Amino acid sequence: MATKKNLVANRAALTHKVRYAIGHPHRIAPYVKRAARDRWLAFKHPDHVGYYRAVMASDTRRNPEAAVGSQTHDRWLALGKMQFDYLREHGLTPQSRMLDIGCGNLRAGWHFIDHLEPGHYYGIDISPDILIAAKQTLTTQGLQEKVPHLTITQDLTLDFLPDAYFDVVHAHSVFSHSPIEIIDECLAHVGRVLAPGGFFDFTFDRTTGTEHQVLREDFYYRTETLIALAATYGLKARFMDDWETRRHGQSKIRVTAS
Ligand SMILES: C[S@@+](CC[C@H](N)C(=O)[O-])C[C@H]1O[C@@H](n2cnc3c(N)ncnc32)[C@H](O)[C@@H]1O
C-alpha cells in the first residue's frame, strides 16, 4: 500500500502549525524542544552544511537509526530493503558501480554493499558521526571483505571522484533536507561522474503548492522546479511513478545525461 502524501500543506504557515498542534497536542513539547535546539545550532552554524552536520551529531548521539529517519529498528530494516529492492528492479547488478550520496548509517547501504562486488560501493556523507555509525553497521553485517568506500564530504562538487565512473548515483532522503543551492550544486556536477547509460535517482519531499521549509531541516519542492533545474545542466529528469506505490512519504526523480 502506498503512503498517502499531503501534497498541498504548507507546513511553514502559522495556520497549518496551529491546526496541527490542536490535532496532535502530544507533539507540541517535542516540537518546541527541537525548534529551540535547531535555533541554537543555526546560530552557531550559519552555513547549511555546518548546521545540518550539527543536527546529525546531536541526533546520532541519541540514536543513529532515528537520525536517518527511522523511529524503530523494524522500520530501519524496511526502509533499507525498500531502497535496495527498487534499485535491483531497476537493473542494479553486482558489477554496477554505485555512489550513495548521504549514505547515513548504511540503512540501505549494507544491502548495496552485500550485493555489489568488492570496492563497487562509494558512500559519502557530511556527518562524521553518522559515518562512524556506518562503520558499525558494516561490522555488524560482517561486510568487511567488500571494502566499501565511506568518505566524508563538505560539498557536492564531487571533485575527488573520476569522470564517467558510476552506473548508479543515489541520494535517498538527502534533498528532503537540502536547500536548493545544494541540489543545484549536485546537479551541476553529477553528470561528470555518471558512466555512459548511468542514472542518478534522488528522493524529495514533494509539494504541489508553495515550496517551503521547516526548521531548515525539511524542504518541500515542486517536481517541475527540480526537473527544470536538472535541464539547466543538460540533464534529463523524470518523475518515477512506480516509486509512488511504495510505503514512503517522499517522491523520486531519475536524472540521466541524455
Ligand atoms: C535521512 S538520512 C538518509 C540516509 C540514507 N540515505 C538512508 O536512506 O538511510 C540523510 C543523510 O544525508 C546526509 N546529508 C545531508 N545533507 C547532505 C549533503 N549536502 N551532502 C551529503 N550528505 C548529506 C545526512 O548527514 C544524513 O546522513
* pLDDT at residue 128 greater than cutoff 60: yes
Written as one string, the DSSP assignment of the chain is -PPPP--S--TTSHHHHHHHHHH-GGGHHHHHHHHHHHHHHHHH--SHHHHHHHHHHHHHHH-HHHHTT-SSHHHHHHHHHHHHHHHHHTT--TT--EEEET-TT-TTHHHHHHHSPTT-EEEEES-HHHHHHHHHHHHHTT-GGG--EEEE-SSS--TTS-TT-EEEEEESSSGGG--HHHHHHHHHHHHHHEEEEEEEEEEEEE-SS--EEETTTEEEE-HHHHHHHHHTTT-EEEE-GGGGGSS-SSEEEEEE--
Provide the residue range defining the domain that includes 242. Answer: 14-256
Inside any domain, residue 21:
yes
What distance in angstroms lies between residue 246's CA and the mean position of ligand 1's atoms? 20
Using the mean position of ligand 1's atoms as its centre, give its distance from the Cα of residue 23 in Å.
Answer: 30
Is residue 6 in some structural domain? no
- Residue of higher predicted confidence among 10 and 47: 47
Place 180 in a pLDDT band, splitting at 50, 70 and 90. Answer: very high
Q: Tell whether 228 is covered by a domain.
A: yes
Residue 24 has pLDDT above 90, yes or no: no
Q: Verify whether ligand 1 is closer than 6 Å to residue 56 (CB atom).
A: yes
Residue 252's CATH number: 3.40.50.150
Average pLDDT, the chain: 94
- How many angstroms does the Cα of residue 125 sit away from the middle of ligand 1? 6
Inter-residue contact 168 to 97 (CB < 8 Å): yes
Residue 7 lies in a domain: no
* Domain-located, residue 2: no
| Substitution site in 126, 153, 187 for ligand 1 pocket (most atoms within 8 Å of beta carbon) | 126
Nearest CA to ligand 1 atom 15: 174
For residue 2, pLDDT over 60 is answered with no
Atom of ligand 1 nearest to the CA of 172: 6
Distance 174 CA to ligand 1 centre (A): 5
Contact 110, 133 (CB under 8 A): no
Considering the domain boundaries, does residue 8 fall inside one? no
The tally of domains found in the chain comes to 1
Q: Is residue 4 a part of any domain in this protein?
A: no
Residue nearest to atom 22 of ligand 1 (CA): 102
Beta carbons of 148 and 122 less than 8 angstroms apart: yes
Of 26 and 207, which is predicted with more confidence? 207
pLDDT band at 8 (very low <50, low <70, confident <90, very high): confident
Cα(22) to ligand 1 centroid in Å equals 31
The pTM of this model reads 0.93
Q: Averaged over 171-178, what is the pLDDT?
A: 97
Nearest to 172 by CA among 103, 73, 77, 94: 103
Q: Is there a domain that residue 159 lies in?
A: yes
